Structure 1
Amino acid sequence: MSPTTIMWIVFAALISFMLVIDLSLNRKSGRVSFKKAATWTVVWMLLALLFGGGIWYTMGQQKALEFLTGYLIEQSLSVDNLFVFIMIFTVFGVRGELQAKVLKWGILGAIVMRLVFIFIGAALLKEFQWLFYIFGALLVYTAWKMAFSGDDEIEPDKNPLVKLARRFLPMTKRIRGDWFITRRMQLWIASPLFMVLLVVESSDLVFAMDSIPAIFAITLDPFIVLTSNVFAIMGLRSLFFLLSNLMGMFAYLKFGIALILAFVGVKMILMMLGFHIPISLSLAVIVVTLAIAVVASLLLRKPETDELLETA
């Protein structure tokens, strides 16, 4: 049995086991507390590091560095995505005990979309290498937009999925804990919570279009791309509730993430021009950039952030 096959088996078993614990066993819980969110965030990060150690042992140092670099990229991009989720829940008025339910299904949907994007993207890049130029330019543009554009206001009525659903599904007028309420007169009546899920899933789709090209700048190995993505996604639910308690604490993090995206985009373009940036240097740039952004956010945080920390 090859090392890659062994790690595929380990990955499938580990993720399946953790899905049962993190999602199924917690389905009746309400809003996740700060302490619980912090604990689960640490657990998922440690599992990713342990899995990376397994890759190092079975597949070698290069693959392990690719996994860790990809994981850090996806994890950092996830932070920016979660702030968008917080805005979505605020706009729709989704209370804490229902946020976990939406995030559970949103995470599962994100994993499915990543699977599709990864295998299609890898096949296209191997067949049409000029796509690296397009993906690289897309990442640089996304970085510029993230750094210098203001926060986009969430407007559910303009979301195409919401428009489509409202066209065919009669709506209730308040948030409920169920997606569909009852079947009357041969019509399914949808709750606003279902619309929240549609907006979250459509946001996941947009995020996948940014994050997948970013990881392809590191490696085209489907195993590394998929595993690093899934480990980052699986920790999103706990990370969401952790960050929702610290909203505004990491004011400069988006600039660090934007810089990472720009670096990865330039790396992708240079790779096509014959200039190869070592994976170890890429990892160092990502770690240092995130560290500087976090430290700057903590040192320059506003007084009201300290009040949030005391009450979290």
Structure 2
Amino acid sequence: MSQELVAWVGFIIFVVVVLAVDLGVLNRKAHVVSIREALTFTAGLAVLALGFNALVYVMYENHWLGLGNHVDKLDGMRNDGRLAAVKFFTGYIIEISLSADNVFVMAMIFQYLRVPPQYQHRVLFWGILGALIMRGTMILLGATLIARYHWILYLFGAFLVFTAIRMLVQKDTGEDVGDSAVIRWVRRFFPVTPTYHGQQFAILQDGRRVLTPLAVALVLVETTDLVFAVDSIPAIFAITTDPFIVFTSNVFAILGLRSLYFALAGAMEKFRYLKVSLAAILGLVGVKMLVADLLKEYIGPSFNFYLLGMVALILVIGALASVVAARREAGNDRGVLTD
């Protein structure tokens, strides 16, 4: 266990360095993050994730620091380099996909609270830092429970299938962020200034500490991630119960969420079939979790590769359908104008 702890500590140090470079070097001064800057940072994080994926292969193949020595509760096999790499990449893709839905809510929060664009990065930075701690705690708790009670896997699978069905049948109510119970709770128990004070989350006013609207935005972002984590954590456990793979793939997805927001926030309405794609992915991994024993018996470890291919196919079909629908709608609009 002490060897595995070294791997965990090493990865956490790596994450701290990435965050320090982000806040202390790349974003030392508050500024509006351009789409080009966001795409560059997103691509950089994707390259880091792929590089780490290769490292996962080497570490598990050679059992460095004790990784890969334990049986995966989901499929009853030890993760060699090939299996570990596929599971990490599949988990990363699924978590990135589920995080995209979070972008909608973040955009609504910033729009309602009128967060100045130059301070949005600061909110997302500290919000995602808190998300790392929350999700890390949830993952360790989930891994501990699964190690003791195998039946929890079936509970997770049923929950994911239920969530997928709910996403398909539930209509958007258009609920105003201002009606959020979180905002009412914050304003009830903490004094909040009516205006922003630069990038400060709190200021001294009349001898007492009061929050700024930026702090309210931070609390909402943290709460939103907690809600989304309830879906995403069981989804990653549908891929593997190895806590190191679960945590690292989740962290890379969360790190990419911030830059993903600045790259996609203005164009998310064009991805009209995103929710359908996410529902299909959740349903797929939920069913996979429920019938994992049958898949292991009749297909063997290859079902992990099939799952990765099916997830990629669902995302591609959803993206292409969205592009076709957007172009068709644009063509109809031009036809109406010419008439």
Report the TM-score, using the length of structure 2 for normalisation.
Answer: 0.83
Task: Indicate if the aligned counterparts of 1:181 and 1:189 stay in contact, CA closer than 8 A.
Answer: yes
Q: Provide the rounded CA distance (Å) in 1 between the counterparts of 2:49 and 2:7.
A: 13
Runs of 4+ in structure 1 displaced over 3 angstroms?
Answer: 1-10, 152-161, 273-277, 302-305
> Tell me, which stretches of 5 or more residues in structure 1 are unaligned?
306-312
Aligned residue for 1:290?
Answer: 315
Q: Tell me the secondary structure at the aligned position of residue 326 of structure 2.
A: coil
Aligned residue for 1:21?
Answer: 21
Asked if 1:178 is matched to 2:200, the reply is yes
Amino acid at match of 2:19: L
Deviation at 1:4, TM superposition (A): 5.4
Task: Summarize the alignment of residues 251-266 of structure 1 with structure 2, pairs less than 5 Å apart.
Answer: 251-266=272-287
Asked if 1:41 is matched to 2:42, the reply is yes
> Over residues 139-176 of structure 1, what are the superposed CA-to-partner deviations in whole Å (9 max), with x where a residue is unaligned?
12222222332334354454444333222212221233
Q: Provide the rounded CA distance (Å) in 2 between the counterparts of 1:151 and 1:23.
A: 35
Asked if 1:140 is matched to 2:161, the reply is yes
> Over residues 75-100 of structure 1, what are the superposed CA-to-partner deviations in whole Å (9 max), with x where a residue is unaligned?
00000111111111112121211211
Task: Summarize the alignment of residues 147-296 of structure 1 with structure 2, pairs less than 5 Å apart.
Answer: 147-176=168-197, 177-185=199-207, 187-271=208-292, 274-276=294-296, 278-296=303-321
Q: Provide the rounded CA distance (Å) in 1 between the counterparts of 2:142 and 2:206.
A: 43
Segment of structure 1 superposing worse, 4-13 or 63-72: 4-13
Task: Indicate if the aligned counterparts of 1:34 and 1:245 stay in contact, CA closer than 8 A.
Answer: no
Task: Indicate if the aligned counterparts of 2:160 and 2:283 stay in contact, CA closer than 8 A.
Answer: yes
Distance change (3 Å), C-alpha of 1:242 and 1:213: same
> Over residues 73-127 of structure 1, what are the superposed CA-to-partner deviations in whole Å (9 max), with x where a residue is unaligned?
1000000111111111112121211211110111101101111100001111222
Deviation at 1:14, TM superposition (A): 2.9
Task: Indicate if the aligned counterparts of 1:91 and 1:154 stay in contact, CA closer than 8 A.
Answer: no
Q: Tell me the secondary structure at the aligned position of residue 100 of structure 1.
A: helix
Aligned residue for 2:121?
Answer: 100
Task: Indicate if the aligned counterparts of 2:202 and 2:209 stay in contact, CA closer than 8 A.
Answer: yes
Distance change (3 Å), C-alpha of 1:37 and 1:304: farther
Q: Provide the rounded CA distance (Å) in 2 between the counterparts of 1:45 and 1:246.
A: 20
Q: Provide the rounded CA distance (Å) in 1 between the counterparts of 2:278 and 2:157.
A: 15
Task: Indicate if the aligned counterparts of 2:167 and 2:275 stay in contact, CA closer than 8 A.
Answer: yes
Q: Provide the rounded CA distance (Å) in 1 between the counterparts of 2:3 and 2:325.
A: 46
Distance change (3 Å), C-alpha of 1:6 and 1:195: closer
Amino acid at match of 2:281: I
Task: Give % identity.
Answer: 42
Q: Tell me the secondary structure at the aligned position of residue 251 of structure 1.
A: coil
Which of 1 and 2 has greater Rg? Answer: 2
Q: Provide the rounded CA distance (Å) in 2 between the counterparts of 1:233 and 1:145.
A: 24
Q: Provide the rounded CA distance (Å) in 2 between the counterparts of 1:53 and 1:293.
A: 28
Distance change (3 Å), C-alpha of 1:152 and 1:222: farther
Q: Provide the rounded CA distance (Å) in 2 between the counterparts of 1:275 and 1:283.
A: 14
Amino acid at match of 2:289: M
Size of the alignment, in residue pairs?
303
Aligned residue for 1:114?
Answer: 135
Q: Provide the rounded CA distance (Å) in 2 between the counterparts of 1:27 and 1:146.
A: 39
Segment of structure 1 superposing worse, 156-165 or 239-248: 156-165
Q: Provide the rounded CA distance (Å) in 2 between the counterparts of 1:280 and 1:125.
A: 23
Aligned residue for 1:55?
Answer: 56
CA RMSD of superposed structures (Å):
2.3
Q: Provide the rounded CA distance (Å) in 1 between the counterparts of 2:175 and 2:200.
A: 23
Q: Tell me the secondary structure at the aligned position of residue 189 of structure 1.
A: strand
Distance change (3 Å), C-alpha of 1:100 and 1:188: same
Task: Indicate if the aligned counterparts of 1:7 and 1:55 stay in contact, CA closer than 8 A.
Answer: no
Amino acid at match of 2:195: R
